[in-house]
Amino acid sequence: MITLGRGSVEDYVAHLKACDGLFPTKLSDRVDLFDYASKLQHRATSFELWEDGRLVGLLSAYMDTDIVFISHICVLPEAPPRSGHTLLEVLFKEVRRIGKRRIRLNVEATNERAVAFYVRHGFVDVGQKNEFVVMERF
């Protein structure tokens, strides 16, 4: 079941640590996990997937500008099948509800699986930012 912003900073830190090695470049090599978890918990709108009391899927987006920005999405391997799709669909529904039209994210260019996942969900490549592909859904 998807919940909205129920998790604590500690829940987010535990989730980020569990996801750390799932990215081509470890998340902890790019950000301080506690600071990032705090920022997500306090400033982002977060859609959470819990399984047996454990946060196994998290999508966090900043929704305070014209363009919604997905800052984080990660689903652990033990999450139910299609959990990433479910998290995105819940976000899309919320974006429509609040009247926004564009969603943007950055994904590592070497993460071909993630790029393909986003393309399947209507995102298009709109440019490069360092080692990241900038993608948008209109």
pLDDT at 4: 87
Q: What is the pLDDT of residue 42?
A: 95
Model pLDDT for residues 59-77, shown as the tens digit of each residue: 999 999 999 999 999 999 9
Q: Work out the average pLDDT over 108-122.
A: 97
Give the strands of the sheet with 2-4, arranged side by side.
2-4, 45-51, 54-62, 67-75, 102-108, 132-137, 124-129
Task: Report the pLDDT averaged over residues 64-92.
Answer: 96
Spatial distance between the Cα atoms of 1 and 71, rounded to a whole number of angstroms: 21
Q: Global pTM?
A: 0.94
Radius of gyration (C-alpha) of the chain in whole angstroms: 14
Strands (E), 21-138: 45-51, 54-62, 67-75, 102-108, 124-129, 132-137
Q: Give residue-wise pLDDT tens across range 1-56.
A: 788 888 999 999 999 999 999 999 999 999 999 999 999 999 999 999 999 999 99
Cα-based distances in Å from 76 to 15, 18, 23, 127: 8, 7, 11, 28
Please give the C-alpha separations between residue 94 and each of 25, 64, 89, in angstroms, as whole numbers.
Answer: 30, 13, 9
In this structure, which long-range contacts are made by residues 28-35, counting pairs with CB atoms below 8 Å and at least 24 apart in sequence? 34/9
Which amino acid, 23?
F
Q: For residues 115 and 17, what is the distance between their CA atoms, to the nearest angstrom?
A: 22
Contact 1, 90 (CB under 8 A): no
What's the DSSP call for residue 32? -
